[in-house]
Amino acid sequence: MTDVAHSARPTQQHALLDWIKSIVMSALPFVVVIALWQFAALFFPRVLFPSLVDVFWRCLEIFSDGAMFWNVASTVLRILGGLAGAFVIGALLGFAMVRSKAVDKFLSPVLTLFQGIPALSWVVFAIIWFHGTEFRIFFIMVMTTLPAFTFQIISALRGMSKDLMEMVFSFRPTRMKMFRTMVAPAILPDILTAWKVNLGNASRVVVVAELVGASGGVGYQLLQQQQLFDMAGALAWTLQLVFFVLLVQGVLTLIENTAFRYRAVSERAL
C-alpha cells in the first residue's frame, strides 16, 4: 500500500465521523422533543397528548387520501401565490422607491404603517371588503408580507457595491443587461433571505385566514379538529404545514448553496 493510501484512510474516516456527528446533532433536538411528548402521552389523556404513533397514522391518512391532501395542496398554493404576489409588487415598489426620492418619501410611511397592522385585522378587513374566498386570502397574504419584501429589496438595491455598478456602467450596458449581469446577482442573496423569512410568516398567516374565512385548507381543517377536540388530527394537520415549510426552506438552501458557491469561506468563519 502506498503512503498516499495510508494517509487517505484516516481522512476519509474523519469525514465519515464528522458527517455522522452532524446528522446526530441535527436530529438530537427532534428526538428529545418526540421522546418528551411520548413520555407525556403515557401519563396524560389522549385528548391532551395523543401518542405520536396515532399522529403518524393520521399524517399518512392525509397524504394518501386525495380529498384530504387537496386541503394541504390548496394551502400550499395560497402561500406560494400570496408570496409571489407580494414579491412582485414589493420588487416593483422597491425599484420605484430606490429610483425616486419622492416615491420613497410617500410610500415608506405607508409600508411602515402596514407593518404595524396585525394579520387578524387584515383578515377582518378582507372579509368586510371582498367576496371571493381566494381573493380574500390572497389579499391578506400580500398585505402581511409586502412590507418585508419591499424593505428587503430596497436594502439590497441600496447595498449594491457602487464600485461594481460603476465598472459595469463603464461598458455601457442596456438596462436589461445591467439588470441581468449586475443587479439580479447582487440582490439575489437578500431576495432568498426575504423568501425564507416571509415563508414562515405566510404559513402562520394563511392558517389564520383559512380559520376565519375559508371552506378548505389546513386552517379550515384545524378548526374542524378543534370542534372535535381531536388533538392527534390537529397535530397531523399542523405537521403538514411544517413539512411544507421545511421542504421549501430546503429548496431555498439548495439554491443558495448552488448560486453562492462563489463565496469565499474562511476556515475560521462564524
Partner 1 sequence: MTHAIDMTQTPANSASAVADDGSIHLSDVSKVFGREGSAGAYRAVDHLNLDVVPGQMLALLGKTGCGKSTIFNMVAGLTEPTSGVVRVGGRDPFVDFDSFRGRMAIVFQSDRLLPWRTAIQNVELGLEMLDHPPADRKERARKWLIKLGLGGHEDDFPHALSGGMRQRVSIARAFATDAQILLCDEPFSALDEATAGKLRVEFARLVKENGKTAVFITHSISEALEIGDRIVVLKRPAMIAYDVSFSRDTSAEDRALIRERISEVLAA
Q: Which residues bind partner 1 (CB under 8 A)?
A: 163-164, 166-174, 177, 181-182, 185, 259-264
- Compute φ and ψ for 102, nearest 5 degrees: -65, -45
The rounded distance, in Å, linking the Cα atoms of 147 and 132 is: 24
Q: How far is the CB of 185 from partner 1 (least distance, A)?
A: 5
Closest CA to 137 of 53, 72, 80: 80
DSSP string, 75-103: HHHHHHHHHHHHHHHHHHHHHHHHH-HHH
Q: How far is the CB of 256 from partner 1 (least distance, A)?
A: 12
Q: Which cell is 129 given?
A: 371588503
Nearer to partner 1, 101 or 261 (CB): 261
The rounded distance, in Å, linking the Cα atoms of 112 and 75 is: 27
Nearer to partner 1, 101 or 172 (CB): 172
CA angle at 108 for the pair 87 and 201, rounded to the nearest 5°? 40
For 209, counting Cβ atoms within 10 Å of its Cβ (0-12 exposed, 13-18 middle, 19+ buried), the class is buried
Q: How far is the CB of 254 from partner 1 (least distance, A)?
A: 17
| Residues 112-122: b if buried by 16+ CB within 10 A, e if exposed | eeeeeeebeeb
Question: Which residues, in sequence order, are CB contacts of 174 under 8 Å at separation 6+?
Answer: none
